[in-house]
Amino acid sequence: MDNSKIIQALKDCSAVQFGEFTLASGQKSNFYINIKKASTDPKTLKIIADCIAELLPSVTETPAENVIIGGVELGGVPIATAVSLSTQCPLLIIRKSEKEYGTKSRYVGDLDLNKEIILMEDVTTSGGSVKKAILALKEDGAVIRKVITIVDRESGAAESLKEIGVELIPLVSSSELVE
């Protein structure tokens, strides 16, 4: 996959920032991938969604009509929504915890256990938040084999997800962005 278009789009929307940052994982970094700049910029989000839509058939043997596009709140939701629109696959939003009111559901959308869920992530570092979502989904009987992330910070997410039988598919690695 040629990811030069995504790399350029991320740079053009100022998603790559340099300085001193503390990441969600607690790790310190001299650069930050402010992916919210990409997911709130229609042009960049469309490039990402179209790239993922083009990539999907090569990362799963499951026919498109049996695929659900999932996104973990908050960062994965705009990406998953854009990919769902681009592919016409149903959307499933995974909350970080069950609601305390109403339906008390952890999910927005239909969790169809006969379909494969492909999760979308904005940035992966250790993979902790997406791993929690995967474990909850699997506990409920769902099938998840792949997570597509816009940027992998190359800090253990791939290895962590592999431990639970899930492959991480990055569109871009952080080393490609900061070269």
Binding-site residues for 5-phospho-alpha-D-ribose 1-diphosphate sit at 95-96, 99, 121-129
Give me the amino acid identity at 86. Answer: S
Annotated binding site for orotate: 125, 153
**Secondary structure of 119-178 in HEC code, one letter for each residue:** EEEEEECCCHHHHHHHHHHHHCCCEEEEEEEEEECCCCHHHHHHCCCCEEEEEEEHHHHC
Question: DSSP letter at 108?
Answer: E
Tokens read off for 81: 């929504």
Indicate the helix (H) or strand (E) that contains 39.
helix 35-39
Annotated binding site: 95-96, 99, 121-129, 153
Q: How far apart are CA 124 and CA 120, in angstroms?
A: 10
Which residue do the tokens 């962590």 mark? 160
